Amino acid sequence: MDLSQLEIRLSRHAFMRANERDIDLAEINKCIKTGKTVKTGKNLLKFIKKYDNYRIICLCEIRTDCVWVITVMRD
């Protein structure tokens, strides 16, 4: 499945965590589009994007019409 064609939507929880952890929406998009993908369940994927001093991790559910971001982390 080509994820670049799907809309990226954030849950309320993911939006709150992104604000709390100073993660920009552009970083979330870049993480999903260019990061490493790890399958973590039947419909769940973890996207990991490494930068020089930190990583952005997005836990997402792949739906038929969108990529639903459940939570985001800075590691």
pLDDT tens, 39-63? 998 889 999 999 999 999 999 999 9
Q: Strand 66-74 and strand 7-10: pairing?
A: parallel
pLDDT more than 90, % of the chain: 83
pLDDT at 5: 84
Domains by residue range for the chain, with CATH: 3-74 (3.30.2310.20)
Spatial CA neighbour of 4 closest among 26, 25, 32: 32
Radius of gyration of the chain from its Cα atoms, rounded to whole angstroms: 11
